[in-house]
Chain A
Amino acid sequence: MKSETFFSQRIFPLIFMGAVTVVAITLVTGIYLLTEDQVLRNELLFERQAILDAAGIEFDPDDIERVYEQRVTKENGWYSVQLPDDERGYVISIIGAGLWGPIEMMLGFYEDLERMTGIAILSHNETPGLGARIEQREFTEQFRGRSGPFEMVDEGTAEEDHEIDGLTGATRTTVAVGEIINRGVRNAPDTVRGE
């Protein structure tokens, strides 16, 4: 019967584990480095897409770069946008506390900085299927063409112009999002025109 030496009992497992770990990490790091650039490019693209969405500009997913270059100028803390009917619009980014973590979004306005062109959610940590529904078109579309401040009401009951349908089962997320947007609406004139 093969005896179990100190080597085979203690040392070899360590060496084996170490070797496997090294191979694993090398493999993973290699793939990571190969894709690093692509990841950065994706993130930039995503942000630009959100800006276009918030401004209510239609675009072809393959065309984001071109449309962005054409219509958006990055200013100091906000974006100046050329809207479809040659009007001027503004997009600001805003971040606030959601239920589970920060919610980051883009708010788009017409030139009067009161009527909105739309909103786009950049990132959030809300509950899938519940609070996460804030990123859905059905929710974000409601802000198009309306002026804040907004009041979040029960899903399906919004009547007046300033009422927005909230999300069933995601009351706290809804309230949080409402507060963030209203804050953005309040501060928009200062951000863009003031200093």
Chain B
Amino acid sequence: MENSMIPVAVFFAAVFTNNILLTNYLGMCSFLSVSKDLKASYGLGIAVTFVMATTSAINWAVYTFLLEPFNLEYLRFIVFIMVIAAFVQLVEMVIERVSESLYAALGIFLPLITVNCAILGVSLFMVIRDYDLITSFFFGLGSGLGWFLAILSMAGILQKLKKARIPRGLEGPGITLIITGIMAMAFMGFSGILTIG
């Protein structure tokens, strides 16, 4: 079976045409609440990208060497989320020791990340689509950057909207969702930019 899914193509698709948030609906909770703050969006975006890329690689290894050989695939939900939680915990501890300023900037986001559906989602998608290690990593990296792109754009737009008059019922999550819908439509326009082979 020929597989034309080269990592680079998967990467670009994950950022634009198959954006983890705008096309796959994942990562909404923190997206909606944190996008109010531009700086926080920046910090959270970076943290999410980092965790996504790394945990997809780690989970690939765990799945391939631990779960598959023993026919334990059905336990993947538990195992993946535990790996993610443990990894985030580890990262938090390391940052705390190593850099005060970094911890001050990113520290609070880390617990938020563990429950970010997008991170678990990336690992689950990677299993379903049968990606190899390199592709998984680029898929994770691309998805993270795509999410980062979405939240940063949203934060920027919300900044501009601060001066606008919005109907009371739509303030907050309402208008954010509408903007998300429009962004989703805009991103659909990206499909067709890349042709593979």
- B18 interfacial contact with A, CB 8 Å: yes
Contact with B along A89-129 (1 / 0, CB 8 A): 00000011101111000000000000000000000010110
Binds B, one of A24-32, A41-49, A145-153, A155-163: A24-32
User: In the complex, A102 Cα to B191 Cα: how many Å?
Assistant: 19
Q: Quick one: which of A32, A96, A171, A172 contacts B2, CB cutoff 8 A?
A: A96
Contact with B along A72-101 (1 / 0, CB 8 A): 000000000000000000000001110111
Query: How big is the B interface, by class?
Result: 20 to 34
* Most chain A Cβ neighbours within 10 Å, of B2, B74, B78, B195: B74
Tell me whether A127 and B23 are in contact (CB under 8 A): yes
Tell me whether B3 and A102 are in contact (CB under 8 A): yes
Nearest B-chain residue to A39, judged by Cβ: B74
- B128 interfacial contact with A, CB 8 Å: yes
Nearest A-chain residue to B191, judged by Cβ: A171
User: In the complex, A108 Cα to B13 Cα: how many Å?
Assistant: 32
Given contacts A25-B78, A171-B191, contact A97 B129 (CB under 8 A): no
- A18 interfacial contact with B, CB 8 Å: no
Q: Which residues of B contact A99 (CB under 8 A)?
A: 13, 18
Tell me whether B78 and A100 are in contact (CB under 8 A): no
Tell me whether B78 and A97 are in contact (CB under 8 A): no
Tell me whether A24 and B129 are in contact (CB under 8 A): no
CB-CB nearest 6 A-B residue pairs: A101-B129, A125-B129, A97-B4, A32-B74, A171-B192, A95-B1
A-B contact pairs, 28 of them (CB 8 A): A24-B78, A28-B75, A28-B78, A96-B1, A97-B1, A97-B3, A97-B4, A99-B13, A99-B18, A100-B13, A100-B18, A100-B129, A101-B5, A101-B128, A101-B129, A101-B130, A101-B131, A102-B1, A102-B3, A125-B125, A127-B18, A128-B24, A130-B23, A169-B191, A170-B191, A172-B191, A172-B192, A172-B195
Further pairs besides A99-B18, A100-B18, A172-B192: 10, Cβ < 8 Å: A24-B78, A25-B78, A96-B2, A100-B5, A101-B5, A101-B129, A128-B24, A130-B23, A172-B191, A172-B196
